[in-house]
Structures are given as structure tokens and as C-alpha cells.
Amino acid sequence: MTTGTPPPTAPRRSRARTLVPLAVAAWAVLEIWLLTVVANAAGGFTVLLLLVAGIVFGAAVMKRAGRRAFRNLTETLQRMPGQPGAAAAPQAVPSGTEGNGFLMLGGLLLMIPGMISDVAGLLLLVPPVRSMFGRYTERSLERRMRAAGPGSLSDAFQQARIHRPDGKIVQGEVIRQDGAQSGPRPDEGPRPPLTP
């Protein structure tokens, strides 16, 4: 049975979906090679100690960053207008509250076994490097948001919810809860059944 609609075409595979797995595989091979080079030069026990120290130090960094993020969240919620003891005017965000995400990423990189990830994790623990990455990320996000054009995230979810993958539109009905409609409209008649 034909419906008259052309068959759906397969979406084009993005460049990132091709390059990211290759980059991860190359990174893993490089990490293993570097670990064997260090093990040949310094000994296997030294490499084992380095890996264990990285895991322990990374876990401590992540724990500290998580506690700091939770403390900042509770302070922010307590400063919200309407909360008991909150100031009438919004206060400035205290310094030192930014960079928790990069601090956690640095701890995670330290926990991943490997020398390159350890160096990257240690670099993310340096405050100027974290602030530089934060500014770069903020500028990149702002640029992408400007390029996105009009509409909001809820519009995108609405479009994704209404249109099925095969291009058909899902029929629906809006029911108002505000009581604006007090009875049946005169033009309403029997409605056709919804078909899949």
C-alpha cells in the first residue's frame, strides 16, 4: 500500500559523529603507549602509584567542588526574594563561585587513568586556566544562542512533540483550565475519531 509520500531519507551523518569516536580511540592508544613508555623508564610500581594518586587526588577535588557547588546553591536560594532574611535588592554573586564545572572536570580527568588526562586535569585546577576556559565557553555559547534565531527552547520541544519522525502531524485538542469557555459552542458537532 502506498501513501503518496516519498520514503524518508536517512539523515546525513554529522562530522562530529565520525570524528569523536576516532579521536577517543586515538587518545586511548596514546595514553596506553605513554603509560608503557613511563613504565619502561621508571618502573611499573611507579606508574601504579601515579595512577592511584591521580584517582585519590581527583576524587578529593571532585568532592571539594561538589561541596562548594552545593553551598553556593543553598546561598543563592536563601538570597532569593521572598525568603526569610533575604535582602530586598538582589545581591551580587560572590567571587570564587565560578568554575565549579571545570574544577569537577579537572577532578574527573585526574581520576581517568593516563598521563595526558592527568596533565589536562592538573591544568584545569589552575584558576587562570579555568577562568580562560570559562570566558571562552561563555562567548561560544552566546554566539550560538545569537545564531539560533528567534524562538525558544520550549518552541523546539513543542515542534519535536507535535511532528512525528515520519513527517505526519499528530492531531490533538487544547483544553483550557481557566474556565474561559462556559459551555459548548454552537458550531461544535460530532468530531471525527483520531486515527494513528
Averaged pLDDT, groups of 10, the chain, 196 residues long: 62 80 93 92 90 92 90 84 60 59 90 90 91 89 76 58 57 67 59 66
**Residues forming a β-bridge with 163:** 169
124 secondary structure, DSSP code: H
Q: Burial of 120 by CB count in 10 Å (0-12 exposed, 13-18 middle, 19+ buried)?
A: middle
Q: What is the pLDDT of residue 94?
A: 52
Q: What is the pLDDT of residue 24?
A: 92
> What Cα–Cα distance (Å) separates residue 144 from each residue in 126, 130, 139, 148?
27, 21, 9, 6
Give me the count of residues in the chain: 196
Bin 28: left if φ > 0, else alpha if -120 < ψ < 50, else beta: alpha
Q: What is the pLDDT of residue 171?
A: 64
Residue partners of 86: CB distance under 8 A and separation at least 6: 78, 79, 80
Beta-carbon count within 10 A of 101 CB: 15
Q: What is the pLDDT of residue 143?
A: 85
pTM of the predicted protein model: 0.61
